Amino acid sequence: MRGGPSTGMPTGPSQSDIMCAKWGTHGDHPAICLVPASVQETYEEVVRAFNLSEKYRTPVMVMPDEIVAHMRERIVFPEPGEIEVVDRTAPSVPPEQYKPYDTSFGDVPPLAAFGSGYKFHVTGLNKMQDGFPTTKASIVQAEEERQVRKVEANAADIMKWEEYQCEDAEIIVVAFGSTSRSARFAVNEARKQGIKAGLFRLITFWPFPEERLLELSKKAKAFITPEMNLGMCTGVVKGCIEGNAPVLGIFRVDGEPINPGQIVDKMKEVK
């Protein structure tokens, strides 16, 4: 992820591409974006990205920030077979009956490989079940809704987050990537000082765990959202907690990481 408009500060840390990842194109489309926070997790999330991409027939973005990307940490490589590897569903019908977008097989229809005996058409235009372009309103509407739905309806299978000390937390820090490492340090510091703080660490940014945050907001006194941009995640959190608690942002776009002290200071502002 890179900061600044235009070329910005391309070698400095930033978390300001998360909106671009979901909204950066014309047209509604599903987005799966993974935001790992360590070297081990980056490895695991890259594997998961391929799996999700195969399972849902959609591109997946892995978005480590500069700090995570330059980290040197111990990593354990699993033995072959230890990590689940998902392959797309191949068609079960004979080639002459195959339609690449046949929704009678569900929202994610089987996908044949070129060269496997199935010949079919792929286009970027709005399409019918057989893959050929159409401008028929009812089909276009249904197809676009299906493409978004296939990810949104399966969000529970895709989303991943970590709740650290959230059980009794009054102040919940929502963070991701390298910022979440500062946040964890801050939560530990706060607990030592008697502040009931917790960390909600996003591992999947899109789809966003809206329902879980709404649930937590019913008990929390405040949310703190440190992020290396001017409030992108903050806005999303505000949007899903229905005004149940204040959301206090900490924004840095100067190429410096957010440090734990800043987060602890912000906790002390909570009344």
Partner 1 sequence: MAFDYDKYIRPGKLPHIWCPGCGHGIVMKGLIRAIDTLGLVKENTAIVSGIGCASRLPGYMDCCTLHTAHGRAAAFATGVKMAKPEMNVILVGGDGDGTAIGGNHFIHACRRNINMTYIILNNKIYGMTGGQFSPATPTGAKASTTPYGNPDPAFDIAKLAIGAGATFVARGTAFHANQIDKLIVEAIQHKGFSVVEILDDCPTTFGRRNKYKSVIEMMNHLKEVAVPVKAAEKMSPEQLQGKVLTGVLYKEEKPEYCEEYAKVIERAKK
Q: Which residues bind partner 1 (CB under 8 A)?
A: 95, 113-115, 117-125, 132-133
- Smallest distance from partner 1 to CB 119, Å: 5
Q: Please, which residue, 130 or 215, has the CB nearer to partner 1? A: 130
- Smallest distance from partner 1 to CB 207, Å: 25
Q: Using the 8-state DSSP alphabet, how is residue 254 labeled?
A: S
Is there a cis peptide before residue 209, judged by omega within 30 degrees of 0?
no
- Smallest distance from partner 1 to CB 143, Å: 16
Q: Please, which residue, 117 or 261, has the CB nearer to partner 1? A: 117
Q: Please, which residue, 74 or 114, has the CB nearer to partner 1? A: 114
Q: Please, which residue, 50 or 132, has the CB nearer to partner 1? A: 132
Collect all residues with Cβ–Cβ distance below 8 Å to 63 and sequence separation of at least 6: 1, 17, 18, 21, 33, 34, 35, 177, 205
- Residue 256: which region, alpha, beta or left (left: phi > 0; alpha: psi -120 to 50)? beta
CA distance 77 to 44: 9
- Smallest distance from partner 1 to CB 36, Å: 24
CA distance 265 to 247: 15
Q: Please, which residue, 15 or 147, has the CB nearer to partner 1? A: 147
- Smallest distance from partner 1 to CB 46, Å: 18
Question: Phi and psi at residue 10, in whole multiples of 5°?
Answer: -65, -20
- Smallest distance from partner 1 to CB 132, Å: 7
Residue with tokens 């999947």: 204
* Sheet with 32-34: strands ordered across: 60-62, 32-34, 204-206
Q: Please, which residue, 80 or 115, has the CB nearer to partner 1? A: 115
